[in-house]
Structure formats: C-alpha cells, structure tokens
Amino acid sequence: VQIQAFADPAEASGNAKKLSLDRGMAVRQFLLDNGIEPYRIDLRALGAETDRAPLDRVDLLVLAGRKNG
C-alpha cells in the first residue's frame, strides 16, 4: 500500500509538507493497528504537490506485489 498525503498550503499555515506527513502517519498507524505489516506500507508526504482537488486529502494506492515461490 502506498499512502500519498497532501495538504492545502492555505490551511497549513505555510507548512503543507508537515501537515501532509502528520496525516500520512495517522493513516499509517491505522493500517498498522489493523494488521498490515510495516514493510508493506510506503508513505509519501507530498505537501501541496498536486493539481487535483481536494487539496486536503490522503490517497491510498494498492500496488501489485510479488508472488512468493
């Protein structure tokens, strides 16, 4: 799972990267608490690096993994 966290710079008091990191960490903790192994989580705090609305959001991408054996 890749977590892509974003934050609207107007709402983040000039620190969109930190706010997006805080959001992403909260989602990561939720996944960990619900049984997802840490090595299966990739967190990307992207701040305001988006042109899609809403700017305040967290996207989860399920990436194809390798098959064992």
For 12-36, write each residue's pLDDT tens digit.
Answer: 777 999 999 999 999 999 999 999 9
pTM: predicted TM-score of the whole model, two decimal places = 0.85
**How large is the average pLDDT for residues 42-62?**
94
Which of the 8 DSSP states describes residue 13?
Answer: T
Percent of the chain residues topping a pLDDT of 70: 91
Tell me, what DSSP letter sits at residue 43? E
Cβ contacts of residue 12 below 8 Å, gap of 6+? 18, 19, 20, 47, 48
The candidate with the shortest Cα–Cα distance to 36, out of 5, 6, 62, is: 62
